[in-house]
């Protein structure tokens, strides 16, 4: 089978992939890159912070997973507005009852943030 590269409609697209696992401190394990940190700001609420300017924010994608998928059925992840001046993006995890939810052990959040290095036309 011939592989075809995936091409987007934005030049210079950059994708930052971030994974967090729940635990005693809400996010006990974190895998990011490019000097990205995560902090808990409240129940189910998290703040991603970039140490360096990642570019112009164009969007994100996020999902929830678990060792036992039924434990996170109906959960959602909702982001706030990206702050270019602070280089931050806030997001909240909600459970099936629409209440803010701290991730437990063996529950995961996977986030992909998309940036471009050139200006984005509105």
- Confirm whether 9 is domain-assigned: no
Q: What is the mean pLDDT of residues 98-121?
A: 87
The pLDDT value given to residue 30: 66
- Confirm whether 6 is domain-assigned: no
The pLDDT value given to residue 1: 42
Number of domains in the chain: 1
Q: What is the mean pLDDT of residues 79-97?
A: 96
- Confirm whether 71 is domain-assigned: yes
Instruction: Quote the CA–CA distance of 117 and 31 in Å, as a whole number.
Output: 23
The structure tokens listed for 77 are: 């992840």
- Confirm whether 88 is domain-assigned: yes
- Confirm whether 5 is domain-assigned: no
Predicted TM-score (pTM) of this structure: 0.83
- Confirm whether 80 is domain-assigned: yes
Structural domain including 52 reads 26-116
The CB density around residue 115, as the number of other CB atoms within 10 Å, is 22
């Amino acid at each position: 089978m011939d592989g075809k590269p995936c091409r987007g409609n934005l030049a210079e697209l950059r994708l930052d992939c971030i994974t967090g696992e729940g635990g005693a401190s809400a996010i006990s394990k974190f895998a990011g890159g490019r000097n990205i940190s995560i902090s808990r700001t409240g129940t189910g609420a998290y703040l991603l912070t970039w140490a360096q300017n990642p570019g112009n924010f164009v969007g994100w994608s996020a999902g929830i997973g678990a060792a036992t998928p039924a434990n996170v059925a109906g959960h959602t992840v909702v982001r706030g507005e990206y702050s270019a001046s602070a280089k931050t993006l806030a997001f909240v995890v909600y459970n099936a009852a629409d209440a803010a939810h701290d991730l437990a052990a063996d529950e995961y959040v996977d986030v992909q943030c998309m940036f471009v290095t050139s200006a984005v036309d509105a």
